Structure 1
C-alpha cells in the first residue's frame, strides 16, 4: 500500500511539473513583444498615450476658443447696449422738422426786352 501511495504521489508531482512547464511556455509566448499579446499591449499602450496627448491638446484648444468666444460675446453685448441707447435717443427727437427758409433769387431783367404790343 505504501508503494502505491508513493507511485501516485510521484505521478502527481510529475503531472504538476508538466503542467507548470506548459504554463511557463504559454506565459513566455504571451509576453513576447514581437508577435504575442505583449506586443499588442505595447502598441495599445502607445496609442493610449497618443490619444491622451491629443485629448489634452483638444481641451486646451477648446478652453482657448471658449475664452475668445466669451470675450466676443461680451463685446457684442456692449455694442448692442450702445445701439439700444442710440435708438432710444432717436425717439427723443421731435417728429416734425423745423421749416426751412426759402431763399428767393431775383432774376435779372435784360434791358433789351421789348414791351409787348
Structure 2
C-alpha cells in the first residue's frame, strides 16, 4: 500500500511539474513584447505619451488664443467707447449744418427754343 501511495505521489508531482511548465510557457508568450499583451501594453503606453504631449500642446495653444482674444476684446471695448462718444457728440452739432430739405416739390420747366425766340 505504501508503494501505491508513493507512485501516486510521484505521478501527482510529475503532473503538477508538467502543469507548471506549460503555464510558464504560456505566461512567457502572454508577456512577449512582440505579439503578446506586453506588446499591446507597450503600444498603449506610447500612445498615452503621444496623447499627453498633444494635449499639452493644445492647452498651450488654447491659453495663447485666450490671451489674444482678451486683448482683442479689450481693444474692441475701447473702440466702442470712442464710437459712442463720437455718436453722442454728433447730437451736439447745430441743425444749421444739416441740409435743408424742400417741404414741397418744386417743378421747373426747361426753356425750349420757342420760349427763347419769343
Alignment TM-score, normalising by the size of structure 2: 0.71
**Structure 1 residue 46: Cα displacement:** 1.1
**Structure 1 residue 58: Cα displacement:** 0.8
Question: Which whole-Å CA distance do the structure 2 matches of 1:50 and 1:16 have between them?
Answer: 45
- Greater helix proportion: 2
In the other structure, the counterpart of 2:91 is 91
SS for the counterpart of 1:32 is coil
User: What count of residue pairs does the alignment treat as equivalent?
Assistant: 98
**Structure 1 residue 37: Cα displacement:** 2.0
Question: Which whole-Å CA distance do the structure 2 matches of 1:42 and 1:2 have between them?
Answer: 53
* Structure 1: unaligned runs, 5 residues or longer: 99-117
Alignment TM-score, normalising by the size of structure 1: 0.71
Question: Which whole-Å CA distance do the structure 1 matches of 2:45 and 2:3 have between them?
Answer: 55
In the other structure, the counterpart of 2:16 is 16
**Structure 1 residue 12: Cα displacement:** 3.1
In the other structure, the counterpart of 1:50 is 50
**Structure 1 residue 15: Cα displacement:** 2.6
Question: Which whole-Å CA distance do the structure 2 matches of 1:60 and 1:89 have between them?
Answer: 44
Q: Are residues 1:62 and 2:62 paired?
A: yes
**Structure 1 residue 30: Cα displacement:** 1.4
Question: Which whole-Å CA distance do the structure 1 matches of 2:70 and 2:3 have between them?
Answer: 88
Question: Which whole-Å CA distance do the structure 1 matches of 2:55 and 2:46 have between them?
Answer: 14
* Structure 2: unaligned runs, 5 residues or longer: 99-118
